[in-house]
């Protein structure tokens, strides 16, 4: 899917909160700052954030990081590569992505309803793990009859379809790991 340049996250979900900063940070404890590792709700951008002093955050807590007044976040440090996530953040990642996909089902159903060919030999639907040409054609034929309404609708109308929700989660994690040439869901 083509994306506009400089798309920014407005809301994130907390993957890990380190009130005393990174444990391996060599600076003295009075110079360390609290750190939040989070994932964007719209573009799955992994971010490192600094909370305001005295702020206590919970895992999965939604935070506003847009241009207006922020209640909990002091500033955004920047993007965070997946290999720099803490153990807790890595454990939470799949669960949080599942939650985002589940609560934004309509956005991902749109992908199934509007996915286009990338070239004469490759279709966007084939980029999803477990989907080959056969599933691709079944999805295209089914959506021409009537657009899909939800994940259950896809599973019902496309024979032997792998769970579409799990398939999207796997693809998002693979894109975050940097294993994919084409990015469908994760902002680069």
Question: Which domains does the chain possess?
Answer: 11-81 (2.40.50.140), 104-176 (1.10.150.280)
Pairing of strands 62-64, 46-51: unpaired
Query: Which of the four pLDDT bands, split at 50, 70 and 90, describes residue 6?
Result: low
Residue 4 pLDDT: 45
Q: Are 95 and 102 in contact (CB under 8 A)?
A: no
Over 60: is that where the pLDDT of 5 sits? no
Over 50: is that where the pLDDT of 87 sits? yes
Residue 16 pLDDT: 96
Rounded Cα–Cα distance for residues 123 and 158 (Å)? 17
Residue 23 vs residue 41, higher pLDDT: 41
Mean pLDDT of the chain, nearest integer: 91
Token pair belonging to 68: 């207006």
**Beta-bridge partners for 74:** none
Over 80: is that where the pLDDT of 7 sits? no
Residue 32 pLDDT: 85
Question: What 3-state DSSP class applies to 38?
Answer: strand
pTM, rounded to two decimals: 0.88
Over 80: is that where the pLDDT of 173 sits? yes
Closest alpha carbon to 38 in 85, 105, 104, 103: 85
Closest alpha carbon to 37 in 95, 7, 77, 5: 77
Over 90: is that where the pLDDT of 123 sits? yes
Query: Which of the four pLDDT bands, split at 50, 70 and 90, describes residue 40?
Result: very high
Instruction: Give the Å distances, CA to CA, from 151 to 1, 97, 136, 160.
Output: 20, 16, 15, 14
């Amino acid at each position: 899917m083509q994306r506009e340049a400089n798309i920014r996250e407005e809301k994130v979900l907390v993957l890990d909160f380190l009130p005393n900063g990174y444990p391996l940070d060599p600076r003295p404890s009075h110079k360390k700052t609290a750190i939040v590792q989070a994932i964007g709700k719209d573009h799955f951008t992994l971010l490192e954030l600094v909370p305001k002093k005295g702020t206590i955050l919970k895992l999965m807590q939604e935070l506003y990081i847009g241009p207006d007044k922020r209640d909990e976040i002091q500033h955004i440090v920047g993007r965070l590569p997946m290999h720099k996530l803490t153990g807790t953040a890595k454990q939470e990642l799949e669960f949080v992505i599942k939650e985002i996909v589940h609560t934004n089902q309509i956005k991902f159903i749109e992908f199934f309803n509007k996915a286009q060919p990338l070239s004469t030999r490759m279709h966007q639907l084939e980029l999803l793990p477990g989907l080959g040409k056969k599933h691709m054609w079944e999805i295209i034929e089914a959506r021409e009859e009537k657009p899909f309404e939800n994940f259950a609708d896809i599973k019902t109308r496309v024979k032997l379809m792998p769970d579409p929700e799990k398939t999207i989660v796997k693809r998002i994690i693979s894109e975050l790991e940097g294993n994919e040439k084409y990015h469908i869901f994760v902002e680069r």
